[in-house]
Amino acid sequence: MIKINVTVTDLDNDPITKLMVNGLPAQGAVFTNTTPTGVLTWTPPVNLTTLTVTFVATDSKGAATTSSPSILYCDCKNNNTCNFETIEETYANSSVQLVGCNCTDQYTGDQCETEVNPCDEGACYDNVTCTVIRNPFGRRCGPCPAGLEGDGIVCNDFDECINSSRNNCTEMSENCVNTIGSFRCDCKPGYVRNAKTKKCDDVNECNSQFADNYKCKTNTDCKNTNGSYSCSCKKGFKGDPLVGCSDIDECNGADRICFGLCENSVGSFNCSCSAGYKLNTENKTLLSCEDIDECKFSTDNNCDQVCVDNEGSYNCTCKSGFKLGNDGSSCVVKTENKCDSTNGGCERLCTNSSGTVTCHCPRGFNLSSDGKSCMDVNECLTSNGGCSQNCTNYDGSYNCSCRSGYKLKGARMCEGLYSLKSHYSLNSGSSSTGIPRGPLRRLTII
């Protein structure tokens, strides 16, 4: 429908007395005259070929003027406005032209006749709810799906692993792995998923069930740690625990630490010292022997009075007025021994008992009546000294000898050099050795 508002004004300000319209189309045109204004409404027919509408206005002095407007019209739907810059169709020698429309976002089409669906496919991110809104017209996209972030139109994955507050992986035992729309927690090396608790448990590599992975070799200690383990040589062994450790010889070579009496053993050793020495334990890495100062503590020696230390042992001595006993440790009061000076006056042997001197004589002597000197005993005077033939006395003893033709048998008896010996047997028979058996009788002629 065409609607033309006409307003007439006079330059002299004379009143407009008359308003007319000429060439008004016969069909569908209505001119409402309200001089000095008027409104022409008209719906042009489809087959319109010519049209010349002329408005004529006359003022109170009889002066008239005319106007034949060129008509541009549009047919915009849904309250959309004309776009006079675009000519869509031309009618009636260009006196009537159909122009395009300025459609609001809500509408589309040449006459803005079609309402746009702002929630058409792709309006929001996949699976995000789309809501049409009217004022202003448009759409509202719901929140991005879980695990994605954005305005609902564009949604992007975010890396939950960048910030520990955005994932629930256990930092010690799990690695966070980002995925599109989510993340997952993988067990770190050295951990294994527990089927029951779903947590990552440390692998105890020292446990025999993991023997395949157990790298600690012979003579080593395996120490399990969270996420790992370590190997070390057992005490007393050395080497590369991943290859195997061997005994340290603490008694010899570069590893020697015992400089005493050393006995190496596999994994250990024994270090000791000779009697009178002790291990110096001040230096744990170098065991050596040092003399025991037995005199330092009375419990280490048995000296009655004075202890004198020496290398490997000690000696006891006594204070003045005492002398060392036979046991080498006790001290006895030194008493004057009258036998000490001039042998107590005795010629030979002297004994001192409680200060009383007694003289003695060796065997073969008798004490003289003076009680001090010794006199030889003449043993030959008594039973010829027991000699069977000659008895010879001398100082302190005597001896026996024999006459010519005899010789000593034993110390005292003489026997003839040609003695008559007769053996006879009371029994006949002989032993297997041929020696006659039976009692023997020896006849000796003196």
Nearest-approach distance from CB 307 to Ca ion, in angstroms: 10
Q: Which is nearer to Ca ion, 275 or 435 (CB)?
A: 275
Shortest Å, Cβ 241 to Ca ion: 16
Of the ranges 36-44, 310-318, 348-356, 362-370, which one interacts with Ca ion (CB under 5 A)?
Answer: 310-318
The residue count for the chain: 446
Q: Considering beta carbons, is residue 210 or 322 the nearer one to Ca ion? A: 210
- We find the least distance from the C-beta atom of residue 194 to Ca ion, in angstroms, to be 14
Q: Is 229 exposed, middle or buried (0-12, 13-18, 19+ CB in 10 A)?
A: buried
Q: Tell whether residue 114 is a contact of Ca ion (CB under 5 A).
A: no
Tell me: does residue 178 bind Ca ion (CB under 5 A): yes
Maximum Cα–Cα distance across the chain: 226
Considering only 247, 331, 339, 391, the residue that binds Ca ion (CB under 5 A) is 247
Instruction: Say which DSSP state 258 is in.
Output: B
Cβ neighbours of 428 (radius 10 Å):
8
CB of 129 to Ca ion, least distance (A): 22
**Smallest distance, Å, CB 302 to Ca ion?**
14
Which residue do the tokens 């440790």 mark? 329
Strands (DSSP E) along 151-260, which ranges?
155-157, 174-179, 182-187, 191-193, 200-202, 220-225, 228-233, 237-240, 244-247
CB-based contact 104:137 (threshold 8 Å): yes
Question: Binding segment for Ca ion among 56-64, 126-134, 171-179, 326-334 (CB under 5 A)?
Answer: 171-179
- Is 379 a binder of Ca ion (CB under 5 A)? no
The reply to whether 290 sits near Ca ion by the rule CB under 5 A is no
Alpha helices by DSSP H, listed for 198-335, are: none
Encoded one letter per residue, x for contact with Ca ion by CB under 5 A and - for no contact, window 211-240 reads -------------x----x-----------
Distance CA 341, CA 338 (A): 6
Burial class (CB in 10 A: 0-12, 13-18, 19+), 53: buried
Work out how close the CB of 265 gets to Ca ion at its nearest, in angstroms, rounded to a whole number.
Answer: 5
Residues 6+ apart with CB under 8 A from 441: 422, 423, 424
Q: Which of 269, 365, 398, 406 binds Ca ion (CB under 5 A)?
A: 269
**Per CB under 5 A, does 291 bind Ca ion?**
yes
Does 202 help bind Ca ion (rule: CB under 5 A)? Answer: yes
Which residues fall within 8 angstroms of residue 89, CB to CB, at 6 or more apart? Answer: 97, 98
Decide whether 229 or 398 has the Cβ nearer to Ca ion: 229
Q: Does 167 bind Ca ion (CB under 5 A)?
A: no
Q: How far apart are CA 82 and CA 71, in angstroms?
A: 13
Distance in Å, CB of 218 to Ca ion, minimum? 15
Distance between CA atoms of 325 and 253, rounded to whole angstroms? 48
Please, which residue, 224 or 373, has the CB nearer to Ca ion?
Answer: 224
Per-residue x/- marks for Ca ion, 311-330, CB under 5 A?
---x----------------
> CB of 272: closest distance to Ca ion in angstroms?
15
DSSP 8-state assignment for residue 362:
-
Rule CB under 5 A: choose which of 75, 157, 300, 376 binds Ca ion: 157
The structure tokens listed for 165 are 């507050």
Going by DSSP bridges, is the β-strand pair 71-74/96-102 parallel, antiparallel, or unpaired?
Answer: parallel
Residue number, 264 or 388, with CB nearest to Ca ion: 264
Give the residues lining the site for Ca ion (CB under 5 A): 157, 178, 183, 202, 224, 229, 247, 264, 269, 291, 309, 314
